[in-house]
């Protein structure tokens, strides 16, 4: 493995480290409270992981990864605002977080043919596999759209049961995609979350039975 490949791998592992940490933090705090929580740190770690995983996906020419992170990116920021965290972020880092996806989309739009070659031009990666992986990422990301809709309705940041069911289904597809792409970063990251998703469903069910 070359130095550049090692560097890309480290970025991906660091991103998944943030994602795994967010799940562990949310899981531990929920276990203590005996109900499913949506802590501010969960969303802070989410935006850190998403930022790095976008870079990792771009460097690996993996459209599925980039697409998945772009869909959920601003929902993470919205939850940070609901938690009161966004107002405390200094202006320059806040602007960087806010406008990075916009700049990236503008760059891709300005060279659409180059972007198509980058993400779909590898003869070793069939288009159907890219479509399959993208579908898994979209489904996995729908959990945050669902979470956002429920949270807007409740006027607070929550993680409802449907969030965890969608997580399980999307994660299963992504793991199978990662196996076919031989992507240890995705396999490791998704496997860690699987147990926590099941546990949150159990905690939520037990909490609802005690407080119907």
Rounded Cα distance, 48 and 14, in Å: 9
What are 63-121's pLDDT values in tens digits? 777 887 888 899 999 999 999 999 999 999 999 999 988 887 777 666 666 656 666 66
Domain ranges of the chain: 3-210
pTM exceeding 0.85: no
Tell me, what's the pLDDT at 212? 57
pLDDT range class, residue 146, cuts 50, 70, 90: very high
- Pick from 79-93, 100-114, 125-139, 198-212: least confident: 100-114
Tell me, what's the pLDDT at 111? 66
For the chain, what is the mean pLDDT?
86
Q: What are phi and psi of 158, to 5 degrees?
A: -130, 165
What are 163-196's pLDDT values in tens digits? 999 999 988 888 898 898 888 877 877 777 888 8
Tell me, what's the pLDDT at 145? 92
For 70, residues 6+ apart whose C-beta sits below 8 A from its C-beta are 54, 101, 105
Tell me, what's the pLDDT at 34? 87
Token duo for residue 12? 């991906």
Q: DSSP string covering 63-119, please? A: HHHHHHHHHHHHHHHHHHHHTT-GGGS-HHHHHHHHHHHHHHHHHHHHTHHHHHHHH
pLDDT range class, residue 47, cuts 50, 70, 90: very high
Q: Residue for token digits 């992507």?
A: 183
Percent pLDDT > 90 in the chain is 40
């Amino acid at each position: 493995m070359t130095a550049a490949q090692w560097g890309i791998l480290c970025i991906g592992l660091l991103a998944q480290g943030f994602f795994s940490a967010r799940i562990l933090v949310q899981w531990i705090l929920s276990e203590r409270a005996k109900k499913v929580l949506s802590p501010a740190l969960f969303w802070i770690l989410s935006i850190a992981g998403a930022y790095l995983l976008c870079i990792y996906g771009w460097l690996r020419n993996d459209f599925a990864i980039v697409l998945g992170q772009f869909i959920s990116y601003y929902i993470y920021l919205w939850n940070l605002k609901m938690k009161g965290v966004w107002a405390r972020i200094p202006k320059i880092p806040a602007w960087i977080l806010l406008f990075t996806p916009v700049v990236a989309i503008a760059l891709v739009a300005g060279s659409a043919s180059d972007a198509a070659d980058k993400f779909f031009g590898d003869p070793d990666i069939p288009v159907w596999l890219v479509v399959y992986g993208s579908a898994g990422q979209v489904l996995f990301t729908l959990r945050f759209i669902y979470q956002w809709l429920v949270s807007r309705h409740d006027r607070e940041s929550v993680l409802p049961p449907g969030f965890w069911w969608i997580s399980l289904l999307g994660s299963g597809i992504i793991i199978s995609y990662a196996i076919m792409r031989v992507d240890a970063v995705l396999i490791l990251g998704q496997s860690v979350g699987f147990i926590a998703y099941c546990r949150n469903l159990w905690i939520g069910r037990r909490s609802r039975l005690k407080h119907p």
